[in-house]
């Protein structure tokens, strides 16, 4: 069987919550994954190396395989029911799977009906399967309760309006359900007779045996290689240079837990600080203007903001974030006019004045609510420059304005064709 490995602590916490509801919940293998193909058998006379070659060829020129979680699926079969996360595949995953399927078709025979056509596979991550109807319903009812509770929340992280928090708690902290989140898989698993035979490290393009599969140092190397290939860790000054001012938010330097909360591709706070400050200085020159939108550092163990600022290029205007307690020259917000557009720079978009006619550029939400706060929400006129959405480096206002201009130009063309007037 071929799978994408999905290592994510939030998925693990949710599975534990579901197991607390249904103690005998069944899921195999005992790690989160996306099934790609199989179970299957090799065609007689075909060597196993043909399977490995198909995997290598399909993943060529891919630093990692990305996808998005969006809600839940309740699936039914003759053996029972399954509760799964719905996976929205990226174009990258679709292309990879399509090429893999066509390559395997000549060297393997799948025992699963879903492998008859690559376009009918419904990608998902399973929390449990072969469930009794009543147990599946119990889990679904818990998810619905959490959905309702999340909709009632006016302030993230606070109880609902009725004062009752219904979200399950694990290890003293709430489990956030649902989860619309971007994830990246760096490993392709070859499972043989229910046991991991080997894994293909996508960014390193190496086959790993079982000891290396579970080696943390090897995982750290894989993550570093992925960052560099994906452009998340700059090795040289960004060319061609963009024009200032530059914008970014929520570096959270020194904050170990932000790596888990926001699924950042780092293995420690020290590594994260080194890469983020390196990306900053390879993008920004000493004389460049920067508008920083809050939460520079966070953690009792982290150095003070002044120590970080000493190592960062640029003439920085600090817009105050909710964790900025040691930046005395920070401002609550900043409004400017650029290329005929009004921009308001503020940390939390919920604090923007109602009815502001321009574009609100903000941070605060990181990548944890991408349905409402993607990089650009054209409908609400919000631009989320949390560093997770800017490839962990500052982005120029020129770039943002160019993207907005292309969108507004597209709207004008539609209005001309339809004979309507733009608001």
pLDDT score recorded for residue 143: 80
pLDDT at 140: 87
User: Would residue 236 count as lying in a domain?
Assistant: no
Confidence of residue 135 (pLDDT cuts 50, 70, 90): very high
Alpha-carbon gap, residue 417 to 408, rounded angstroms: 14
Phi-psi region of 304 (alpha: psi -120 to 50; beta: other; left: phi over 0): beta
- Judgement on whether residues 34 and 135 belong to the same structural domain of the protein: yes
Percent of the chain residues past pLDDT 90, beyond the cut: 63
Closest alpha carbon to 136 in 18, 29, 239: 18
**Average of per-residue pLDDT across 121-145:** 88
Mean pLDDT of 175-204: 84
* CATH number of the domain encompassing residue 10: 3.90.1140.10
Which residue carries 């799978």 as its tokens? 3
Give the percent of the chain with pLDDT over 70. Answer: 88
Rounded CA-CA distance 189/256 in Å is 29
The whole-number pLDDT of residue 178 equals 42
pTM above 0.75, yes or no: yes
Residues 168 and 256 in one domain: no
Q: Please tell me the total count of domains within the chain.
A: 2
Residue 284: is its pLDDT beyond 50?
yes
The CATH number linked to 378 is 3.60.21.10
Which residue has better confidence, 232 or 24? 232
The Cβ of residue 2 has, within 10 Å, a number of other Cβ atoms equal to: 24
- Are 195 and 85 in a shared domain? yes
Are residue 186 and residue 332 in the same domain, yes or no? no
Q: What pLDDT was estimated at residue 92? A: 94
pLDDT for the residue 77: 82
Q: How far, in Å, CA of 360 to CA of 236, rounded?
A: 31
Confidence of residue 309 (pLDDT cuts 50, 70, 90): very high
pLDDT at 162 over 60: no
Is the residue at 103 inside a domain?
yes
Mean pLDDT of the chain: 87
User: Do the Cβ atoms of 42 and 51 come closer than 8 Å?
Assistant: yes
Please identify, among 229, 264, 290, the residue that sits at the C-terminal boundary of a domain: 229
Is residue 234 a part of any domain in this protein? no
**Whether residue 316 has pLDDT greater than 70:** yes
Is 149's pLDDT higher than 80? no
Please report where in the chains the tokens 């193909």 appear, as a residue: 37
Same domain, 201 and 263: no
Rounded to whole angstroms, the maximal C-alpha distance in the chain is: 73
Q: Which pLDDT does position 26 carry in this prediction? A: 77
The whole-number pLDDT of residue 411 equals 56
Do both 258 and 167 map to the same domain? Answer: no
Strands 289-292 and 246-248, bridge-based pairing: parallel
| Same domain, yes or no: 277 and 316 | yes
Residues 214 and 280 in one domain: no
Residue 407 banded pLDDT, cuts 50, 70, 90: confident
More confident residue, 144 or 388: 388
What is the per-residue pLDDT across 235-273, written as a single tens digit (0 to 9) for each?
988 777 789 999 999 999 999 999 988 999 999 999 999
Residue 155 and residue 184 in one domain = yes
Asked if residue 422 belongs to a domain, the reply is: no
Domain around 364: 246-409
Q: Is 417 part of any domain?
A: no
The yes-or-no verdict on residue 6 having pLDDT over 50 is yes
> Do 319 and 352 belong to one domain?
yes
pLDDT band at 397 (very low <50, low <70, confident <90, very high): very high
Domain-terminating residue out of 201, 229, 257: 229
What pLDDT score was predicted for residue 165?
A: 35
Give me the count of residues in the chain.
423
pLDDT band at 278 (very low <50, low <70, confident <90, very high): very high
Q: Do 204 and 318 reside in the same domain of the chain?
A: no
Residue 179 has pLDDT above 80, yes or no: no
The reply to whether 238 falls in a domain is no
- First and final C-alpha spacing in the chain: 54
Residue 391 banded pLDDT, cuts 50, 70, 90 = very high
Q: What is the pLDDT of residue 174?
A: 42
HEC letters along the chain: CEEEECCCHHHHHHHHHHHHHCCCCECCCCCCEEEEECCEEECCCCCCHHHHHHHHHHCCCCCCEEEEEEEEEEEEECCEEEEEEEEEECHHHHHHHHHHHHHHCCCEEECCHHHHCCCCCCCEEEEEEEECHHHHHHHHHHHHHHHHHHHHCCCCCCCCCCCCCCCCEECCEECCCCCCEEEEECEEEEEECCEEEEEEECCCCEEECHHHHCCHHHHHHHHHHHHHHCCCCCCCCCCCCCCCCEEEECCCECCCHHHHHCCCCCCCHHHHHHHHHHHHHHHCCCCCEEEECCCCECCCCCCCHHHHHCCCCCEEEEECCCCCCCCCCCECEEEEEECCEEEEEECCHHHCCCCCCCEEEECCCCCCCCCCCCCEECCCCEEECEHHHCCCCCEEHHHHHHHHHHHHHHHHHHHHHHCCCCC
């Amino acid at each position: 069987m071929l799978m994408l490995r999905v290592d994510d602590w939030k998925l693990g916490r949710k599975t534990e919550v579901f197991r607390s509801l249904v103690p005998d919940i069944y899921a195999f293998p005992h790690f989160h994954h996306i099934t790609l193909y199989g179970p299957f058998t090799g065609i007689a006379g075909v060597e196993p190396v043909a399977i490995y070659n198909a995997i290598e060829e399909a993943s060529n020129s891919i630093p990692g395989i990305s996808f998005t979680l969006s809600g839940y699926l309740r699936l039914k079969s003759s053996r029972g029911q399954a509760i799964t996360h719905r996976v929205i595949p990226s174009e990258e995953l679709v292309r990879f799977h399509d090429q893999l399927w066509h390559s395997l078709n000549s060297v393997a025979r799948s025992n699963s009906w879903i492998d008859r056509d690559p376009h009918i596979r419904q990608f998902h991550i399973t929390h449990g399967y072969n469930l009794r109807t009543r147990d599946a319903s119990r889990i679904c009812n818990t998810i619905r309760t959490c959905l309702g509770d999340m909709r009632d929340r006016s302030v993230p992280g606070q109880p609902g309006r009725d004062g009752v928090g219904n979200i399950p708690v694990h290890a003293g902290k709430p489990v956030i359900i649902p989860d619309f989140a971007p994830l990246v898989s760096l490993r392709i698993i070859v499972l043989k007779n229910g046991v991991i035979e080997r894994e293909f490290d996508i960014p390193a393009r190496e086959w790993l045996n079982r000891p290396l599969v579970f080696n943390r140092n090897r995982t750290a190397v894989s993550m570093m290689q992925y960052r560099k290939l994906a452009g998340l860790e700059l090795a040289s000054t960004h060319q061609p240079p963009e024009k200032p001012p530059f914008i970014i938010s929520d570096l959270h330097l020194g904050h170990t837990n932000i790596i888990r909360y926001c699924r950042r591709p780092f293995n420690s706070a020290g590594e994260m600080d080194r890469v983020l400050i390196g990306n900053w200085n390879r993008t920004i020159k000493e004389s460049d203007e920067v508008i920083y939108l809050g939460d520079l550092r966070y953690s009792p163990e982290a150095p003070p903001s002044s120590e970080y600022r000493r190592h960062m290029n640029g003439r920085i205007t600090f817009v105050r974030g909710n964790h900025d307690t040691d930046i005395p020259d920070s401002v609550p917000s900043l409004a400017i006019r650029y290329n005929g557009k009004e921009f308001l720079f503020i940390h939390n978009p919920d604090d923007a004045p109602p009815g502001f006619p321009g574009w609100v550029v903000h941070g605060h939400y990181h990548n944890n609510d991408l349905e409402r706060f993607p990089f650009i929400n054209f409908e609400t006129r919000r631009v989320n420059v949390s560093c997770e959405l800017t490839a962990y480096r500052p982005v120029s206002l020129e770039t943002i304005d160019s993207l907005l201009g292309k969108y507004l130009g597209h709207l004008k063309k539609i209005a001309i064709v339809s004979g309507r007037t733009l608001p």
